[in-house]
Amino acid sequence: MNHETQVRPESVTGTLPAVAAATPMMEQYLEIKAANPDSLLFYRMGDFYELFFDDAEKAARALGIVLTRRGKHQGQDIPMCGVPVHAADDYLQKLIALGFRVAVCEQIEDPAEAKKRGSKSVVRRDVIRLVTPGTITEDKLLAPAESNFLMALGRVKGAADQSCALAWIDISTGAFRVAETSHDRLLADILRVDPREMIVAEPVFHDPELKPVFDVLGRVANPQPSSLFDSTSAPARIARFFEVATPDSFGTFGRAELSAISGIIAYVEKTQKAERPPLSRPEREENGATLFIDPATRANLELLRTLSGQREGSLFKAIDRTVTGGGARLLAERLTAPLTDPAAIAARLDSVSFFRAEPRLGEAVRLSLKGVADMPRALSRLALNRGGPRDLGALRSGLSAASAIAGLFATVEPPPEIRGALAAIAALPSGLAQHLQLALDDEVPLLKRDGSFVRAGYDAELDEMRGLRDESRRIIAGMERDLAEETGIRSLKIRHNNVLGYYIEVTANHQAVMTGTDQAKARFIHRQTMANAMRFTTTELAGLESRIANAAARALAIELAVFEALVKEAVAEAEAIRAGADALAVLDVSAALALLAEREDWCRPQVDSSLAFEIEGGRHPVVEQALRRLGDGPFVANDCDLSPEGDAGHGAIWLLTGPNMGGKSTFLRQNALIAILAQTGSFVPAAKARIGVVDRLFSRVGASDDLARGRSTFMVEMVETAAILNQAGERSLVILDEIGRGTATFDGLSIAWAAVEYLHEQNRCRAIFATHFHEMTALAEKLTRLHNVTMRVKEWEGDVVFLHEVGKGAADRSYGVQVARLAGLPEAVVARAREVLHQLEAGEVSGKAERLIDDLPLFSAAVKREPPKPAPRSDALTEALAGLHPDEMTPRDALEAIYRLKGLAPG
């Protein structure tokens, strides 16, 4: 037997016979590795993927597996490690998460064919796919509720300027989109899609102008040869991939878009080798169709993940009530790209309102959707030759559930979006659904090689072969029983292994019975002698084995042929299946948002083309649910009205003052989140809401630094503030918190003051500006659209009570000392702070603040120390207590000690 096909023990590493440096196998490995220098090479040997040299050292460290040695190369030991094929997905998941790319090298010929070329011939191998973060399809490696996007950046330099475009696909579902972009919004557009991997032409990757973008993306960005992005050859590449005469029917794309599309298709061809995923045709996203959210705002508002990278605590987690993976992915996509067309938003809201008014129908739809598997991902695996019977089963269950769901709407008149979804569901291939139902058994195995997934009665020849195979098992058992009676050896067994096939086994003590006479020798043919047993066969057993082997092999061959036919039929219907799955996701999202609105008491927002922003009883969706879970009482709702007044023509600006811990940041964020939810097409956490479409949303809430690029907290704050002031327009919504707090008081006040004036006079946007600089409240007398509001508090016996209510007016102070006391600062520090604050306020009132600031003794004076408390009085009882050591006492000792102490106690 060829040593390359022998099965080794199932461990993550093992040792093979040593080989010299020039063995054909090692030459083959080095040749394949040279063609894939940027990837770890999983080199198939029998039941293991082996890694050698540097790959082995890297993988052993990353996976925590044992590094061994195998032979020598150029006089040095060859490092080696390996992973079992059956567990490869788990190891791939770890490697991909750590940023590695893996080339999977398989045996592409039968070992028997290799033997025909000579006993030392090496089985032919080749890389069948490159596994990268953006091209994975395995169920274990994908999160059901998250898309797995691969993105390409196309850039074309023109005579006057240069244009950019992004194309992105999810190879696991077939989604394919493209959009134009520009240098100033490139990072925002990339982070909106949140790709797992991004490919870029090498010259673009090394462009100094784009270095800040790729620095943020880190290892997500993957430079590739420029030839992949050639816009002149792009039409031919696109036409060849989609097997059409010309891609003109897909739409008219600019050169940068063609470059991006070509790059991503070329990368798919490079990584998937001979296989082709069933991608949809490229769909363009029009500029301005979605709400622009800059990277800082997206992070601050924690739309999909918190600042720590967790789903728990994000807006998505708070609103997700979907029951399918496709529905969760669609909800996330909508949440990160809210619409700007009031009519399109209204269409989504109509769908939610429909299910809100039909709760029983919504619950029935959700119940049926729970049985829907992820059809697009199953289809993709089948098309890439990585699928199995369960993927066909997923299509069967999905098509069956879709048909049942469509029947639920027979007696109602749904709104347009749901009617469109039902039309796509009706177009699902009913013939394929029936074929899968007839062909597949109710329970199917994971792997097609295991067989037993075709339903009995589907194929007459298969039933015949199965009958012979299964009946033979009964015949073998009968033969074993007859031989035991004939020979008188009760322990006689008929067994099977891959080397001998079927054989008769008896213990060594019964050798004489099997070989003692000429008749016995003629009947029982010796096969193998073991330490404690002997193995024989008979002509009858050998004939039966041949029939069994042929029947089992023929049965499996028939099942595999059925599998391939079903896969071919399913892939041919890829477009309809994908459209139907998208329609089911729409129903899932609409029904889920209706359930959310019902349970959380959310209202339908009015979204129009005005500049209105009027929220009554608004709440923060995440904080409100967190308070409920913790049992900390109800969330305090607040109004917000940034709508134009009279002939003002532009939205208002609220200048929000109040103490820390009063709820300013929560109020800022909740209004931004309400705008996002409304334009997503969701009901919102408010009693009433009217929102004129927001085209750009900017947020500067919270403080952080960027030490890697030499930026202090204040510098980051200024950079983000500059981006807002340079980009916001009259349709923008801006929320700013504590601008200027990171520098000297007068510098900060000056910057904040000027920023508010600029927002009012130049940007003319709707905004909420929170500040501790109370001096700025005087601006309300100068700026007509600026209004003072404050977070209300109450003082009680020297403490401050936060009401979390927003009201008209301005705070006269920040209550910082009271907040410090609540935080647990030592009482001496709090007392000293009150004294300093009193003197500073008195100085400001009397015009002597400058003298007080220069009066260093005020700040250098020693903190008043509290007089030491007198030591507790020493008496007999105290001394007795001090002499007890409970850890060393028995129960009897403790009881006696209690009686002694009682005797010492007064009274």
Going by the annotation, the residues of the binding site are 658-665
Bridge partner residues of 608 (DSSP): 692
Of 739, 732, 735, nearest to 765 by C-alpha is 732
Distance of alpha carbon 440 from the chain centroid: 32
Angle between helical axes of 574-600 and 416-426 (0-180°, round to 10)? 140
**Start-to-end CA span in the chain (Å):** 97
Contact between 544 and 475 under an 8 Å Cβ cutoff? The reply is yes
Angle between helical axes of 539-572 and 430-439 (0-180°, round to 10)? 160
Bridge partner residues of 735 (DSSP): 699, 768
Task: Give the integer Cα–Cα distance in Å for 150 and 101.
Answer: 14
Bridge partner residues of 77 (DSSP): 72
Task: Give the integer Cα–Cα distance in Å for 491 and 506.
Answer: 7
Task: Give the integer Cα–Cα distance in Å for 439 and 731.
Answer: 57
Residue 139 DSSP label:
G
Contact between 42 and 88 under an 8 Å Cβ cutoff? The reply is yes
Structure tokens that stand for 342 in this block: 């009031």
Q: 550-553: which pairs have CB atoms within 8 A and are 24 or more residues apart?
A: 551/465, 551/466, 551/468, 551/469, 551/472, 552/465, 552/469
Q: Are strands 40-45 and 48-52 parallel, antiparallel or unpaired?
A: antiparallel
Task: Give the integer Cα–Cα distance in Å for 602 and 683.
Answer: 6
Contact between 773 and 799 under an 8 Å Cβ cutoff? The reply is no
Task: Give the integer Cα–Cα distance in Å for 865 and 832.
Answer: 10
Task: Give the integer Cα–Cα distance in Å for 905 and 439.
Answer: 89
Alpha-carbon distances, residue 631 vs 351, 596, 703 (angstroms): 33, 20, 29
Task: Give the integer Cα–Cα distance in Å for 214 and 69.
Answer: 39
Query: Cα angle vertex 705, ends 702, 708, to 5°?
Result: 150
Q: Are strands 786-796 and 653-657 parallel, antiparallel or unpaired?
A: parallel
Task: Give the integer Cα–Cα distance in Å for 769 and 652.
Answer: 11
Query: Cα angle vertex 238, ends 232, 239, to 5°?
Result: 105
**3-state class of 805 per DSSP?**
strand
Residue 620 neighbours by CB under 8 Å, 6+ apart: 635, 666, 667, 669, 670, 673, 685
Task: Give the integer Cα–Cα distance in Å for 14 and 81.
Answer: 7
Structure tokens that stand for 225 in this block: 């040869």
Task: Give the integer Cα–Cα distance in Å for 610 and 95.
Answer: 51
**3-state class of 868 per DSSP?**
coil
Rounded to a whole number of angstroms, the CA Rg of the chain reads 37
DSSP string, 471-504: HHHHHHHHHHHHHHHHH--TT-EEEEETTTEEEE
**Residues that constitute the known binding site for ATP:** 658-665
Any idea of the CA torsion for 183, 184, 189, 191, to the nearest 10 degrees?
100
- For residue 207, the tally of other CB atoms under 10 A from its CB is 16
Structure tokens that stand for 334 in this block: 């909508």
Residue 681 DSSP label:
T
Phi-psi region of 119 (alpha: psi -120 to 50; beta: other; left: phi over 0): alpha
The amino acid present at 78, given as its one-letter code, is I
